[in-house]
Amino acid sequence: MAGAAAVLEDDSLLSRLDRRLARAERVLALISGVFAFGLMVLAVVSVTGRNGFNEPLPGYVDWIEAFMPLIAILGISYVQRQGGHIRMDIVVGALRGRALWLAEWITTFLILVLMVALVWGSWAHFDRSFDFGAPMWSRDSSIDIGLPIWPAKLVVPIAFAVMCVRLVLQLWGYGRAFVLGLESPVAVPLVQSAAEIAAAEARQVEGRD
Amino acid sequence: TEWNVSLWGKRRAFTEHVHKLAELVEEKTDGEFTMNISYGGLSNNRENLDGISIGAFEMAQFCAGYHPDKNRAITVLELPFMGVSTLEEETAVSHAVYDHPAVTEEMAQWNAKMLMTSPMPQYNIVGTGEPRDELADFDGMRVRATGGLGEAFRAVGAVPTSVTSSEAYQAMEGGVVDTVAFAQHAHLSFGTINEADWWTANLNPGTVNCPVVVNIDAYESLSEDERAALDSSVPEAIDHYLANYGELLARWDSVLEERGVEKVMISEEQLAQFEEVGGAPIQQAWIEEMSGQGLPAQELFDLVKSTLNEQRGTN
Amino acid sequence: MEPIEIGLWVTGGLLVMVVLGMRVAFAAGLAGLLGLVWIFWVRKDYAAEEFGWALSVAVQTAGQVPHSKVSSQALSLIPTFILIGYLAYYAGLTRALFEAAKRWIAWVPGGLAVSTVFATAGFAAVSGASVATAAVFARIAIPEMLKVGYDKRFAAGVVAAGGTLASLIPPSAILVIYAIIVEQDVGKLLLAGFLPGVFSAFVYGALIIGLALTIRGFGPPVSGFTWRERLVALPPALPIVAVVVIIIFFVYNPFGGDAWGTPTEGGAIGAFIVFCMALWRGMRWGELKDALIETAKLSIMIFSIIWGVLIYVRFLGFAQLPDAFSNWITSLDYPPLLILVCILLAYAVLGMFMDAIGMLLLTLPVVYPAVMALNGGEFVSAEQSAFGMNGTMCAIWFGILVVKMAEFCLITPPIGLNCFVVAGVRPDLSVQDVFRGVTPFFIADAVTISLLVAFPGIVLWLPSLA
Ligand code: NA
Ligand code: NA
C-alpha cells in the first residue's frame, strides 16, 4: 500500500541524509520480510516433519516467538519514512503551507517523545533479560528449548532508535518547510494532494528541459 | 496502603489463596491495607517478575517454567519424579526451598521477595482421540508441558510445545499441541477438559511451581501493623487454598463423568519405565548443569528430599 | 484524582491527538504512556521528588509491551496471511482469478464491478487481510473498469468494499485477533465467517446490478466471450482452489477426524504453494523482494497499531476503566437485544474514527464480557439465554457481527483503511474520491448486518456442524 513514496529529493544535506538513512531502513524492512518468509518455511518444515516423519519441530513456538519482533517491528522506521503508518488526515488534509508544516512538526515531535521513551523502556526490558555473567548471557529464556530471549528483545530498542533518527530528520524537514514557507519540502512524506502537485510540477519541469 | 496484584487467567482454585490473603489483610488492618487483584490487566503472565522489578505493582504470581533463566534456583521444584504426593508436602517443600539463601538472592535481583507458594497436585495430561496409555504412544506427541515435566516427556520421545496456561486451550483446539499437561483446576479453568476425550489418572510425572512474590521496597515501606497482618495471613491463606483444592479434587471424578472424559490408567510397568528414563537422569542432569552455573544445586536437591522425609515423619 | 477519571481524561486526549492527524499507533502509545505516568504519580500524591520514579516505572512498563505483545504464536498468522496475498499477486493468480470472473459474469448489468466483487471474494479465500486484498485489486481491477468507462470513484469504491470480504471469508487475520482476545476457538470462528462472507458478496452484487439498472451511463456489461474463452480462463485460477482446500483442511477436516494442523500452518503451506507457482511463472529475486517488503510494510503497520493500542490498554488496566464499563453495561435496564444493537451502532460511530484492528483491540476486553453477560454468561444453555444460543455460539455470533462492523469501518470516513490503501495505490485518486465511491456499499453492509442479527443461523449453521 501507499506504493509510491511521496518523498521528494534534492541535493541538500538533509535530502542526502534522508536517502542514506532510507537505504538502511529498506534493508531493515527487507529483513522483516525475509523473516516473514522464514515463518512460512518454518511452518512447512514443521508440518512436513510432523505428518511425514512423526518428528515435530522442537521449539516450534519458541522460534516463532523469537522471529516475531523482527517481522513486526524491525522495519518500523521504513514505514514512517513513507508515511505508511495510518492516521486520520481529515484535519491535516485541509491545511496548507505553514499551518500544515506546523501541525506535522507537532505530531512528529510527539511521536519522537514516545519513541525516545520507548527506546529507554524497551532497552530496560532487554537489559533485565541480559546478564554478562550467565550462560548465553541469558536471564530470560523461552519455555521449551530455553532459547535466550535477549536477542529478540534487543531488536526493539534498535528499531526504535533508528526510528528516532528518522523522526529527527523529519522534524528538520518540517521545521525547514515551516521557516522557509516551502510548498513541497524534501525528506518528508507529503499528504497526497501536495504530492500530486509536486509530481505535476516535476513533469512540467521535465517537459521544458 | 493499596497494593496492585498481578495474576492471569481468571479466578480459580490456583488463585484462591491470594483472594483470601487480601481479605484477611484488609480485615486485620481495618481496611487500611487493601489489595487490588487484576487478572492480566497489569502485565503479561510471563512478565510478572519484570513488573515487580520495575515496581509497577506490588505483588504477583508467576510460574518457574515460563522462564527458567529468570529463576534458576527454584526450578529444582519442577524436576520430574521427585516423589511429592500431597499438596501439604508440596507446600512444605516449596517453602523450604524459598527460604534458601540462593533463592532469596536470585529473587532479590528482581527486587522480589517470596511470600508463599501455590501448591499444585501432580500434572496429568488430557488428549483427544485414542488414549495414549503406553510410552510408545508418546513418541512424536506434541505436549504442552513446561519445565522439568517437558524434559521428562522429551526423554520418552515427545516434543514439548508449550504456551502459557491462558493460551493452552487454543493451542489444543487449534492443533498446535496434541496433549496438555495441567493440574486438575487448570484443566477445568482453562477449558482443556471440555475438549478432551481422556485424562491420565496416574501418570504423575511431577508438577510445576508457581510462587507469589512481593516487591521488596513495597514490603519494607509497609507499617509494622500492615507487615504483621500480611505475614501472619500467609498460613491461613494457604490453609484456605488447601481446603478449597481438596474439595475440587474430591469432585474430580464426577467432573470427568459429566464431560464424558475417559479416565486412563497406565500400567505399573509402563510407569516404572517412564520414571527410569524421565526421573533420575533428568534430575542428575539438572544438578550438573546448575552446579556448573554456580548454583548450590546438590544442596537444593537434598533440601527437597530431606524436607519431604521430615514432612512424612511428622505426619 | 480517581484512576477512572484519569482514564477518561487520557482517552479524551487520545481522541484529540487522533483527530489532529497523529499516526494512530503512536497516539495510542503516547496516551497510554502519559496515562501511566499520571497514574503512578498520583499514587505518590504528586510529590515533586517522586515524578522521576513515576516516569521511570511508566516508561519501563510501556517499554515491555512492544516485544511482549508481538511475540505471539497466534499473531504470527498475520504476516503469513499477508505474505500469501502478495505472493498470489506476484504469481499472477489474482489476475487469473479476475480474468475468469470477468469472462463468466461480466455480461450482467454492472458486469465488471460484479466480477470484481466475486474475484475479491475468491481471492479472500486465500488472503487474510482486507487491506492487502484491496491493494492488489486496486492494481488489477480499477484499470479494467476505467477502460470501459466506469466512474473512477465508483470503481475505486467497488475495490475498497470488495476488499472487506477477505476478513470474513476464511482465512482472516482479524477473526484470529478476535479469537485471541476473547479466548475462543479460532477454527470455529473461521468457519463461521464463511457464509456471512459469501452472503455479503451477493448483497454487494445485487446492489451493483440495481445501480447499473437505474443509473444511466453506468459501466456497460462486457459480453461476447465464447464458451471456449471461458473454459480456458479456468485452469490458471485453479491453484487458488487448491490453496483454499488446503487451508480448509488445516482449519477443519470436513471428513471428520482432526484438522491437519493450525490455521497458521495452513496459511504457510498455502503461501508455499503460491510461492512455488510464482517461481514456476518466472518470479525473480527483484519481484520476491518487492513482495517481501510489501508484506513487511503492511505487517509492521498492523503490529504498530497492535502494540500502540496495547500500551494504552495496559494503562486502562491500571485505571480500572474496563471493569467500570462492564458493570455499567450489565446494570442497564433495557432488553438485551436492544443493548446489543446499541453496541453495534457504537462500533459504527467509533469505527468512523478508528481503524478496525485498533478498535477491536481497544474495545473487546471491555465489551465482550458485557455481551456474554447479557446473554446469560459463558456457560448458559441455549434455552436459558437471552439471544437463544449457548455461550460458545454467542461468542462466535458476536465475533462475526463485530468483525462485519469492523469491516464496515474499513470503508467509512474519516479513517477507512481500505479507502486509504486504494487511494495510495492509485495516485490519480484522492481518499475523498474513494470515500465518495464507496458510499453505496454502506447500504449493502447495513442490510447484511441487520440480516445477520435477525437470522443468527447464517452465522451459526457451519460451526454447529463442526
Ligand atoms: Na480471507
Ligand atoms: Na472507518
Q: Does C111 touch chain A (CB under 8 A)?
A: no
Q: Confirm if C172 and C166 have CB atoms less than 8 A apart.
A: yes
Chains in contact with A via at least 3 Cβ–Cβ pairs below 8 Å: B, C
The answer to whether the CB atoms of B163 and A61 lie below 8 A apart is yes
| C153 within domain boundaries | yes
Ligand 1 centre distance from Cα of residue C164 (Å): 9
- Chain B hits for C320, CB-CB cut-off 8 Å, are 36, 41
Q: Confirm if B196 and B129 have CB atoms less than 8 A apart.
A: no
Ligand 2 centre distance from Cα of residue C435 (Å): 10
Look up the domain containing C158 and give its range: 73-298
How sure is the predictor about C85, in pLDDT bands with cuts at 50, 70 and 90?
A: confident
How sure is the predictor about A67, in pLDDT bands with cuts at 50, 70 and 90?
A: very high
| C175 within domain boundaries | yes
The answer to whether the CB atoms of C180 and B170 lie below 8 A apart is yes
| C310 within domain boundaries | no
Complete DSSP assignment for C175-202: HHHHHHHHT--HHHHHHHHHHHHHHHHH
Give the closest ligand to the alpha carbon of residue C356.
2
pLDDT per position as a tens digit, A79-130? 999 887 877 766 887 888 899 999 999 999 999 999 999 999 999 999 998 8
Ligand 1 centre distance from Cα of residue C124 (Å): 4
Average pLDDT over chain C, rounded to whole? Answer: 82
Mean pLDDT across C339-358: 79
The answer to whether the CB atoms of B167 and C322 lie below 8 A apart is no
User: Over 60: is that where the pLDDT of A51 sits?
Assistant: yes
- Chain B hits for C68, CB-CB cut-off 8 Å, are 44, 46-47
Ligand 2 centre distance from Cα of residue C348 (Å): 8
**How many cross-chain Cβ pairs, A to C, lie less than 8 Å apart?**
250
pLDDT per position as a tens digit, B7-47? 987 788 889 999 999 999 999 999 999 999 988 889 988 89
Ligand 2 centre distance from Cα of residue C87 (Å): 27
Q: Confirm if C354 and C362 have CB atoms less than 8 A apart.
A: yes
Supply the pLDDT for residue B207. Answer: 87
Burial annotation B175-212 (CB, 10 A radius, 16+ → b, else e): bbbbbbbbbbbbbbbbbbbebbebbbeebbbbbbbbbb
- To probe the interface with C, which of B5, B166, B170 has the most C CB atoms within 10 Å? B170
C338 burial (CB, 10 Å; 0-12 / 13-18 / 19+) is exposed
The answer to whether the CB atoms of B150 and A146 lie below 8 A apart is no
| C107 within domain boundaries | yes
- Chain C hits for B50, CB-CB cut-off 8 Å, are 64
Secondary structure string (H, E, C) spanning chain A: CCCCCCCECCCCHHHHHHHHHHHHHHHHHHHHHHHHHHHHHHHHHHHHHHHHHCCCCCCHHHHHHHHHHHHHCCCHHHHHHCCCCCCCCCCHHHCCHHHHHHHHHHHHHHHHHHHHHHHHHHHHHHHHCECCCCHHHECCECCCCCCECHHHHHHHHHHHHHHHHHHHHHHHHHHHHHHHCCCCCECCCCCHHHHHHHHHHHHHHHHHC
Q: Does C197 touch chain B (CB under 8 A)?
A: no
| C283 within domain boundaries | yes
Which contiguous run of DSSP H or E holds residue B283? helix B280-292
Neighbours of C241 (CB within 10 A): 14
* Reported ipTM: 0.89
**How many cross-chain Cβ pairs, A to B, lie less than 8 Å apart?**
54
pLDDT per position as a tens digit, C381-410? 777 777 888 888 889 999 999 988 888 888
- Chain B hits for A123, CB-CB cut-off 8 Å, are none
Residues 422-451 of C with CB under 8 A from A: 423-425, 427, 430-431
Percent of chain B scoring above 70 in pLDDT = 99
pLDDT per position as a tens digit, B109-118? 999 999 999 9
Mean pLDDT across C430-458: 86
Chains in contact with B via at least 3 Cβ–Cβ pairs below 8 Å: A, C
pLDDT per position as a tens digit, B132-179? 988 889 998 989 888 788 888 988 889 888 777 777 877 787 777 889
Residue A41: HSE in the Cβ half-sphere, 13 Å Cα cutoff: 8
Distance CA A131, CA A128 (A): 8
Distance CA C18, CA C34 (A): 15
Supply the pLDDT for residue C169. Answer: 83
- Chain B hits for A134, CB-CB cut-off 8 Å, are 69, 293
| C316 within domain boundaries | no
| C46 within domain boundaries | no
Which contiguous run of DSSP H or E holds residue C391? helix C391-410
Mean pLDDT across B192-221: 91
| C154 within domain boundaries | yes
The answer to whether the CB atoms of B170 and C316 lie below 8 A apart is no
Q: Does A121 touch chain B (CB under 8 A)?
A: no
The number of distinct structural domains making up chain C is 1
- Chain A hits for B210, CB-CB cut-off 8 Å, are none
